[in-house]
Amino acid sequence: MGKELYENSALARELFEQANAILGFRITDLMFEGTDDDLRQTKVTQPALFLHSTILAKTLGSDFQPDMVAGHSLGEFSALVATEALSFEDGLRLVYKRALAMQKAVEEHPGTMAAVIGLPDDRVDAICAEIDDIVVPANYNCPGQIVISGTLTGIDTACKLLVAAGAKRALKLNVGGAFHSPLMEPARTQLADAIHATAFQQPVCPVYQNVTAQGETNPETIQANLIAQLTAPVRWVQTVENMIAAGASEFMELGPGEVLQGLIKKTNAEVVAEGMS
């Protein structure tokens, strides 16, 4: 991950080495040569993804001139750095603190997530609300696909009820915890202090944030939404729809993988969605 960037760009090399110094370990060694187990460590996964997408955006130079940006969950930090609302250094420090805080919350409050396919959003919402346990929608990814999050028993119950209600599938995911749910409250509190202590600037273009699905430019609003993000759902469908309503017709995904391109196309087949890694 990111190795080609490192080898072919002096700016990328400089930023990657700066990241190694900030983190206190050579994350580049793990990104370029680490095992799957190495990369699955939360303290590695989150900063690695952030670094890949953020450094890629910076190496584009003047070619990176978006009219608006968005990021899915962790990707919101990359979007904020790419639009100069956050400095690279501060963004990386916050992402690392986020990773450690989330890992601690997972250890204190075990939970999991499940993907629900083929059931209307409002039906999923209603069934989750009826369960006498913590189960909430976590990611509104695309029409007909929602990820739910909650306690281990709550998710088991929800999967049975959702399939009985007509869902094509309700499959538990191989994740470390109940992200974007109330079980992340300890991490939200811990990260809030770090976000409040960090300087935010007005971005060069609107940043469509997960919590509101609206394009934001006010630094204080951006901070508040970023804090709320850990325990609130990622409203990706609404984000894409609102960006299109604001004039977006071409989307470029920066970073590893093609997941967001697929979600965008499923939300609106008429727009162009491409990637760069």
Confidence grade of residue 224 (pLDDT, cut at 50, 70, 90): very high
Confidence grade of residue 1 (pLDDT, cut at 50, 70, 90): confident
In angstroms, the CA 259 to CA 47 distance is 18
Percent of the chain topping pLDDT 90? 93
Say yes or no to pLDDT of 46 above 90.
yes
Say yes or no to pLDDT of 158 above 90.
yes
In angstroms, the CA 73 to CA 140 distance is 11
Predicted pLDDT of residue 55: 97
Residue of 52, 72, 109, 180 marked catalytic:
180
Residue of 53, 73, 78, 181 marked catalytic:
73
Mean pLDDT, the chain, whole residue set:
96
- The question of whether 180 is a catalytic residue gets the answer yes
Predicted pLDDT of residue 118: 97
- The question of whether 196 is a catalytic residue gets the answer no
Per-residue pLDDT tens digits for 59-76:
999 899 999 999 999 999
With beta carbons less than 8 A apart as the criterion, state whether 230 and 239 touch.
no
In angstroms, the CA 238 to CA 42 distance is 28
What is the topology classification, in CATH, of domain 110-172?
Alpha-Beta Plaits (3.30.70)
Tell me what the mean pLDDT of segment 4-9 comes to. Answer: 94
Predicted pLDDT of residue 174: 87
Predicted pLDDT of residue 175: 87
Phi, psi of 150 (to 5 degrees): 170, -160
Per-residue pLDDT tens digits for 76-127:
999 999 999 999 999 999 999 999 999 999 999 999 999 999 999 999 999 9
Predicted pLDDT of residue 36: 87
Domain 3-107+182-276 classified CATH 3.40.366.10? Answer: yes
Per-residue pLDDT tens digits for 161-190:
999 999 999 999 988 899 999 999 999 999
Question: Hey, what amino acid is at 14?
Answer: E
- Residue ranges per domain, the chain? 3-107+182-276, 110-172
Sheet strands side by side (includes 112-117) = 135-142, 145-150, 112-117, 169-172
Q: Would you say how long the chain is, in residues?
A: 277
Predicted pLDDT of residue 222: 98
Say yes or no to pLDDT of 43 above 90.
no
Topology agreement, domain 3-107+182-276 and domain 110-172: no
Say yes or no to pLDDT of 41 above 90.
no
Confidence grade of residue 232 (pLDDT, cut at 50, 70, 90): very high
